[in-house]
Structure 1
Amino acid sequence: AGDEISQYYDPMIAKLIVHGADRTQALRRLRQALREYQVVGVATNIAFLQRIISHEAFANAHLDTGLIARHHEALFPPSPPPSPEFLAMAAIAEYAAMRDAVAAGAIASGDPYSPWRDVDTWWLNTEEHFIALNYVAEDTSYPVRLRLRNAAIAVDVGQRQFTASIESLEHALAVTLDGDRFTTNVVAHGEERYVFCNGTMQRLKLVDPLAHAGEHMEHGGHLAAPMSGTIVSVMVEPGDAVARGTPLMILEAMKMEHIITAASDGVVSAVHYRAGDQVREGADVIDVAAPAPTP
C-alpha cells in the first residue's frame, strides 16, 4: 500500500478474467464483476470496458483490431451531466458524514446531549433555512439544498425536489428518494466525490466557496492531463483562438489515445509540453485564456 506508479510503467492496476459455460454466461459475469469495481484517486477505463462488452459486436464475437475505430462514436459518447438522483445521493452522503463526525465529537465531549451539536436546519421563526452544497462536473455548477423535516430530508436539485431518507449499511448507504431505494457508496478524495450506484460511477467536485475565495478566476483555463502518459500530438500553438470542444492535444495512456479538448471558447495562452514528452496525471498541459472582449 502507498506505492506510487509513475508514467514510466504500464498503468494496469488489475486484470479481470471470467469464465462460463458459454459466451453469454461469461459476459453476464463480466458485466457483474465490472459493476462491483470501485476505484478512486486515479482515472480508469472501467466505464469504457462496460461500453465495449455491452456492444453488439463484442457480444457476438465480431472482433478484430478495428472494432474500436469502427464503433468510436458509440464507445466514446459525450459525458452526460450528473443525474438529479446522483447529485441528491452525493449531498445526502455529505450530510451523513457531517452528522456522524458531529456525533463522534459529541461522545468525546463533556456534554454529549447538547442540542448545539445537532446537524439540522432548524432556525428560529423560519422553515427556509437549509444546508447548501455546490457540486461541479465538466465545468458546470450544480447547487443542492437540504432541509431536515422530522425523520425525512427534503432535497432540492435544480427544479427537482425529493423526499429522502437514509440508512447506514456496512460499506454503503441505502438512500430512498421519493420511494425509490438506491444502494450507494460515496467516497471523498480531497474535494472530489466519487458516487457509486448500480454499477455506475459519477465523479463530482464539492466546491467550498470560502476555501477558494482567494483564487483567481483564470484557474479554470488550465487543462490538466487526465492520467499519466505520453503526449502524441499537439494541435495548437500559443495565440490560437479555439472554440469549446476543439481538440488541443492527444495523450497516449493505458494503450489508448485520449483527446484533450477546450473546455470553453478562448485563446491558447501557453502549451507546456511537446509531442513525445512524458506527463503525470494532473499536470498542467495547456492554458486557455478567455477571449478578448469584442469592442
Structure 2
Amino acid sequence: MFNKILIANRGEIACRVISTCRRLGIATVAVYSDADRNARHVRLADEAVHIGAAPAAESYLRADVILDAARRTGAQAIHPGYGFLSENAGFARACAEAGVVFIGPPANAIDAMGDKSAAKALMQAANVPLTPGYHGDRQEPEFLRAQADAIGYPVLIKASAGGGGKGMRKVEASADFEAALASCQREAQSAFGNAHVLVEKYVERPRHIEIQVFGDSQGNVVYLFERDCSVQRRHQKVLEEAPAPGMTPERRAAMGKAATDAARAVGYVGAGTVEFIAGPDGDFYFMEMNTRLQVEHPVTEMITGTDLVEWQLRVAFGGPLPKTQEQLRIHGHALEARLYAEDADRGFLPSTGTLRHLQLPQTNANVRVDAGVEQGDAITPYYDPMIAKLIVWDVDRGSALQRMQRALAQCQVVGVTTNAAFLRRLVMTDSFRHANLDTALIERERAALDIQHSVATTADWALAAVLASNENAAASDNASPWAINDGWRLTGPAARSITLEHLQQQHVLQVRRSSEGWQVRSGDEMQQVTGHADANGYALQIGDRLYRGNALRDGNVLHVFGDERQQRFTVHDPVAEADSANDHGGSLLAPMPGRVVTLLVEPGSTVTRGTPLLVMEAMKMEHTLQAPADGTVHGFRAKAGDQVGDGAVLVDFEVTQAS
C-alpha cells in the first residue's frame, strides 16, 4: 500500500480521504489556498502545502503546482476527490509522466466520458440505451434551435464537458431556446472552460438513478447497486438514497449490466458512476458517466458495508477488487441530505460568513456526518458552500426517514443562512415520504415547501420575546434588586418593549418580569411564561406546552433552536437603526460577492415586480436579480464583467408609488 498520498482537494472529501488513510496507516499531505489556510482538512493532514491564491484557477486547478507539492513532499499518489482536477485527463497524464499514481481511472477513460457528446456515441456502440437528442459538434444557435424544434419540447440543454447542474437548462418552448442556450454556454465556459453543449429530449416525470461501478486493473468490473438522486433543484442533487425505492430485481440487474457494459467499453479502472434517466414506464436511458467518486457515495457505503475510498486506494495500488459481484449485498436503507450555506427562501443564493456556532448531530452506527468545516471556520465565495453531508441508515426506508428528520432537527448553525429548515420541510412532504419521486418533486411540492409553513405562532413570539429580553440577564443568588437585570422599579417591575420581525411580520411585545416568570403582552393578548432561560439553554412553559432548546444572538438576529423546529427573529432597535440609516434606499444591493455577467434592461426602463434586471455569477452558478416591485430602473452602478462585493449597490431603482 502507499506510504504517503497527496489530496488535491478541500472540504469534506479531503477530510474523508484523510480519515480512511489514517485508518490504513497512510500519511497524508493537504494542499490549501489563501482562503483555506486554517481549514479543517489542513488541520487534519500530516503535512500541508500552500498552492496559491483563493480563486480555484490560481490554486486547486493548478496541476503544475499540485504536482510540485507532491514531488517536494514525497507523495507517491494523488487523490483528486471530486470537482477541480478529478476528471481532468491532462492532469491524469501529467501524474503518470511525473511518476505519481493518479487515484482514478486511466486518462483515456476520462477522455472518453468527459465529453458527453463523444460518450453518447461510445455508449450507442456498446448498446447502452440513449436519450433521443443531438450530440454532435455543431454549435451555431440557429442550428441547435432547429434540432430542439425537431426533437420536440421540452428539451434539456447540457454542457458537454461538465456536471453538477452547471450549464444545464430545461427549455419549454422554441421562443425561449436561444436565451437559455446563451446562459448555459456562459455557465459552462466559466465552470469547465468549454462552452460546448448538447440538446436532448426532456423525459417527463424522470427519475435520476445512478449506478456505482468499480473496476480494477485485472479487468474485473462490479456494480454496487443504485442510488436515487431524483430530488434536485437547478439540476443539483439535494437528497439521495440507496437503494432506489420501488426498484425491482430485474430492473436493477438490467441497469447494473448497462453500467458495467459502459465501464468495460472504456477499460475503466477505479470508482465511477453511470447516471441514467428513468421514465415512469420503466425505460431508462444513459445520461453520463462521472469518472470519479460522487458526493453521494456514502449511501452506497452504508448499504453495502464498504469503504469506497479504501477500494480506490487498493485498486490504484494495483490490487484486485475487494469483493466480487456475488459477494455484494444490499442491507437496509440509507439517506443523505446536503447541508448548504444558502438561502432557500431567496432562490438558494449562497451565503458566506463565519460559522460562529455549529452543532451537528452526534454520530453513531446509524448516523454519519461528513463535514469539511468546524465552528469558527469561514464559508467563502470561492468554493462550493457545503457545510456537511448528513447520512442516516436503518433497516428500512421509513425508519431511515425518521432518523433523517431527527438529524436535521439537531443541526444548529449561526453565522450563515442554511437550507436546514428547507430540508426538514422537504423530507416531510407527501411526495418524499411516499417515495413519489422524480426530478420535479421540489416544484410539485412548492406549496408544502413554502416558508410560510414556518410562520411563528403566538407562543413562538412570546418565547422569542422572553429570550430577547433575557439575553443579558444572569442568574444570581443575591436577592438584591440591584443584582438583577430585570427592569426592577420601586413601584414594580418595568415592562420592556421588544420589537421582533419574522418572515416579514413585525410585532411589538411588552415583556414584564415577575416572580412567576414573565408576562408577555402583544396587543390585548397576555401570555404567562414560566421556567428558566440562561446561557446554557431554556426550558419555558407557555400554556400547556414545555419548550426546550437554546438561543443565540448574532448581531440583531436571534436564532431560536428547539425540539421541533428552528426559527430566526430580527430584533429591532429603532434608535440604533435610525443612527445607522444610509442612503441606499431605492437601490438594489448585491446579495453576495460575485461577477456581473450581463445587464438585462436599459436605464430608464419602467419594469414590473419580478422583471429580471441583471445576471450575477457566484460560485460558478448564475443568479438573476429581479425587480423587487413595480418601478423604474434609473441606472446601473456596475457593468458586465465587474467584480462586486457583498452589499454593493448595483441598481438605482425607484418604486412606483401606489396612486
TM-score (norm 1): 0.76
Aligned to 2:570: 205
Partner of 1:36: 410
Task: Percent identity, please.
Answer: 36
CA deviation after TM superposition for structure 1 residue 119, in Å: 2.2
1:71-90 residue pairs with structure 2 within 5 A? 71-76=445-450, 78=452, 81-90=455-464
Aligned-pair CA distance for 1:188 = 0.5
**Which sits farther off after the overlay, 256-265 or 154-163?**
256-265
Residue-pair matches, total: 285
**Residues 1:64 and 2:441 are matched in the alignment:** no
2:513 aligns with 148
Structure 1, residues 87-116: CA drift from partner, whole Å, max 9, x if none? 22222112332211xx68xx9xxxx77533
1:235-283: CA deviations, max 9, x gaps?
6555445566666667777898877565555544554567787766555
Q: Which stretch of structure 1 is more off in the superposition, 136-145 or 211-220?
A: 211-220
Distance in 2 between the 1:220 and 1:60 partners?
Answer: 47
CA offset at residue 293 of structure 1?
A: 7.9
Give the Cα–Cα distance (whole angstroms) in 1 for the partners of residues 438 and 598 of structure 2.
26
Are positions 1:184 and 2:549 aligned together? yes
Equivalent-residue separation in structure 2 for 1:178 and 1:63 (angstroms) = 40
* Counterpart contact for 1:84–1:160, Cα < 8 Å: no
Distance 1:256 1:55 in 2: 27
2:532 to 163, 167, 172: 167
Residue 13 of structure 1 aligns to a residue in which SS? strand
Name the stretch that deviates more: 61-70 or 232-241: 232-241
Inter-CA distance 267–9: structure 2 relative to 1 (3 Å threshold):
same
- Give CA deviations for 1:124-180 in whole Å, capped at 9, x if unaligned: 5577x4111112234443211101222221101344321011324784201111232
Other-structure match for 1:195: 560
Which string of whole-angstrom CA distances, capped at 9 and with x for unpartnered residues, describes residues 1-36 of structure 1? Answer: 544332221111100111111110111101110111
User: Does 1:52 find its partner at 2:426?
Assistant: yes
CA distance in 2, matches of 1:79, 1:252: 30
Say whether 1:120 aligns with 2:486.
yes
Q: Distance in 1 between matches of 2:450 and 2:521?
A: 31
User: How many Å separate the matches in 2 of 1:260 and 1:283?
Assistant: 13
Q: Distance in 2 between matches of 1:238 and 1:139?
A: 30
Deviation at 1:80, TM superposition (A): 5.5
Alignment partners' CA distance in 1, 2:445 and 2:428: 12
Structure 2: runs of 5 or more not aligned: 1-374
* AA of the residue aligned to 1:165: T
The code of the aligned residue for 2:559 comes to: Y
The answer as to whether partners of 1:86 and 1:195 remain within 8 angstroms in 2 is: no
**C-alpha distance in structure 2 between counterparts of 1:254 and 1:71, whole Å:** 27
RMSD (Å) for aligned C-alpha atoms: 3.8
Q: Structure 1 stretch 136-145 or stretch 18-27: which is displaced more?
A: 136-145
CA distance in 2, matches of 1:16, 1:255: 24
TM-score by length of 2: 0.37
Partners of 1:113 and 1:256 lie apart in 2 by 58
Contact 1:147 1:154 in 2 (8 A): yes
Counterpart contact for 2:608–2:629, Cα < 8 Å: yes
Instruction: Identify which of structures 1 and 2 has the higher relative contact order when contacts are C-alpha pairs closer than 8 Å and 6+ apart.
Output: 1
| 1:125–1:60 CA distance, 2 compared to 1 (3 A) | closer
Counterpart of 1:17 in structure 2 is 391
Structure 2: how far apart are the matches of 1:275 and 1:159?
53
Counterpart code for 1:16: L
| Bigger Rg, structure 1 or 2 | 2
